[in-house]
Structure 1
Amino acid sequence: MAIRLSLLAFCLLSLPLWAAPVVDRPRLVLIIDDVGSSLEKGRAALALPGPITYAILPFRTYSRELSQEASAQGKEVILHAPMANTRQLELGPGGLTPAQTREQLQQQLSDSLDAVPEAIGVNNHMGSLLTQLDEPMGWVMEVIHKRGLFFIDSRTTASTRAMSIAQAAGVPSAERNVFLDNDRSIEAITGEFRRAVELALNEGRAVVIGHPYPETLAVLQTLLPTLGELGIVQMSAAAYLDEIEDAKRRVIARQSAASH
């Protein structure tokens, strides 16, 4: 109990006194990446409260089982598509690289999506190299658009072009604002959660990515239930993007009505 209270105090009391919502109900989207390699960690992540989006790695030992369990629980699933990185780290099965032809890349992505049929969107696993490249990312978006999915840019590099390419292709898209657990200490994760809360309150939205680490899940189990006390709405990625798309349609409709 003492740990819970200290975490809550750190997250809530350290907010600036001037922090206030700039919209009626600020939104926070939480995505849990790297699901599929551990059944225990995956199930612990599925036990988190509220609407959460689970990014499933393709072709891992427990990818199908966890994807099916998430879907059965009404949880949102997306494909966590491995993409080439600048550090030449191993991608594992399902990797997308600049060395692939258009046909090879699109077939690989299609195979990965077929392996996670519950997925209604895609985000990138690593990808600090591929997401900078217009042509292969354009091929990625062709597949996503054809299947009627959305895309979340994990922003593993400041030079990413992924979201702008997605938008040009007509793919509903958003980008990550906060990584919770680059530093896996409880204190650091709690601090990043606080930063996400501040962003949501001050800018109206925050898209947050974490991983099924025990430390991350412990912080989230404690602090996710506090979002409602702050007036923040926790949403899945799809629900968030649906709101954005609805707002765009309303603007277009008003513009069209004004021009007649």
Structure 2
Amino acid sequence: MEKTEEKTESKSVSTPDMTAIESYKYTWSNNTDAMPPVVIIIDDFGQNAGQLLDDFSALPKEIAFSILPDLPYTQTVARLAEKTNHETLIHIPMQALDHQANPGKRYIRTGMDKYAISDLLQDFYAQIPNAIAANNHMGSEVTSDLATMNIILEELDNLGLYFLDSATTNKSAAFTAGKNLGLKIAKRDIFLDVPDNSDATIINKIEGLAKYKGRNEPVVIITHCHNRDKLNALQKFLKQIDNMGIELISVSQLFRKLGYPA
């Protein structure tokens, strides 16, 4: 049975100290005309609830929550996301190249047959029924295996879900599988909280947006929900890109821009 959490009123969270972020002289900030919009997905929801979750839910509604199945608060997060108008993804646990890594209690492995994968994805979807898409949790081995990705994408398409490749390997077969099925796949461009949540890292990520100028596709950014430091870093990033006039769009808008119908 899923744990219950005492209701707390979600409040708008004040932006942390922006001094270092705003005082940095970005090399491209005088002209953002050719900058594509930004999409932000927060991974790994489901393990915790309470005030931190409420504070994440106070973020702009364009930001999507990617929720792990089979966790104590999986359905709590899914319900709160729906209530606060945040789109959701199924954060599908998948086998990593490092077999010592633990993606979760149940996860997709290479060599699984079509029916086992289908049953698992359908069960994950039943836990997060408002999901519009899915992305991989870990999964460097699975996403680099074309046969397995063909099965996953076919089943997700049957469920009416898009797939966004978290790009945990540079050998991903997701785009080839998508082409086989006539599906467009989105891909993560930036991990916002790697290597850390420091102001220096956030400045580096904002400065690095310059390389996407002139690109038609939106810039896809993933961060995580593990602690308040990650929330604070995300708030700083959001405030600065808003100051620069960079548009924030939702995951559904991302896939419309890739050519899917509304």
- Please classify the TM superposition score into its range, dividing by the shorter chain length: 0.7 to 0.9
Task: Give yes or no for contact 2:206–2:237 (8 Å, CA) kept in 1.
Answer: no
Within the candidate set 200, 219, 223, 1:206 is matched to 219
* Structure 2 equivalent of residue 76 of structure 1: 87
Taking the aligned partners of 1:2 and 1:91, their CA distance within structure 2 comes to: 32
Q: After superposition, where does 1:1-260 map in structure 2 within 5 Å?
A: 3-10=17-24, 13-16=25-28, 20-22=32-34, 26-40=36-50, 41-88=52-99, 89-195=101-207, 197-204=209-216, 205-212=218-225, 213-245=227-259
* Residue identity opposite 2:83 in structure 1: A
- With 130-139 and 206-215 compared, the bigger mean Cα shift is at 206-215
Task: Give yes or no for contact 1:181–1:210 (8 Å, CA) kept in 2.
Answer: yes
In the alignment of these two chains, the number of paired residues is 243
Taking the aligned partners of 2:16 and 2:62, their CA distance within structure 1 comes to: 27
**Normalised TM-score (structure 1):** 0.85
Q: 1:18 to 1:72 in 2, by over 3 A?
A: closer
Q: 1:192 to 1:34 in 2, by over 3 A?
A: farther
**Gaps (5+ residues) in structure 2?**
1-14
* Structure 2 equivalent of residue 256 of structure 1: none
Deviations 1:16-74 (A, max 9, x none): 36764326xx2100010001111144333222235111100001111100111001111
* Residue identity opposite 1:80 in structure 2: H
* Residue identity opposite 1:112 in structure 2: F
Taking the aligned partners of 1:230 and 1:78, their CA distance within structure 2 comes to: 28
* Residue identity opposite 1:130 in structure 2: V
RMSD of the TM alignment (CA)?
Answer: 2.2
**Gaps (5+ residues) in structure 1?**
250-260
Taking the aligned partners of 1:164 and 1:199, their CA distance within structure 2 comes to: 25
* Structure 2 equivalent of residue 254 of structure 1: none
Identical columns (%)? 25
* Residue identity opposite 1:209 in structure 2: I
Taking the aligned partners of 1:71 and 1:189, their CA distance within structure 2 comes to: 31
Q: 1:77 to 1:139 in 2, by over 3 A?
A: same
Taking the aligned partners of 1:27 and 1:14, their CA distance within structure 2 comes to: 18
Task: Give yes or no for contact 2:26–2:207 (8 Å, CA) kept in 1.
Answer: no
Taking the aligned partners of 2:209 and 2:156, their CA distance within structure 1 comes to: 30
- With 106-115 and 131-140 compared, the bigger mean Cα shift is at 106-115
- Secondary structure at the counterpart of residue 44 of structure 1: helix
Structure holding more helix per residue:
1
Task: Give yes or no for contact 2:37–2:248 (8 Å, CA) kept in 1.
Answer: yes
- With 195-204 and 184-193 compared, the bigger mean Cα shift is at 195-204
**Normalised TM-score (structure 2):** 0.84
* Residue identity opposite 1:193 in structure 2: K
* Residue identity opposite 1:30 in structure 2: I
Taking the aligned partners of 1:165 and 1:133, their CA distance within structure 2 comes to: 9
Q: For residue 173 of structure 1, report the CA deviation from its aligned partner.
A: 2.0
Task: Give yes or no for contact 2:65–2:86 (8 Å, CA) kept in 1.
Answer: yes
Task: Give yes or no for contact 1:120–1:149 (8 Å, CA) kept in 2.
Answer: yes
* Residue identity opposite 1:78 in structure 2: L
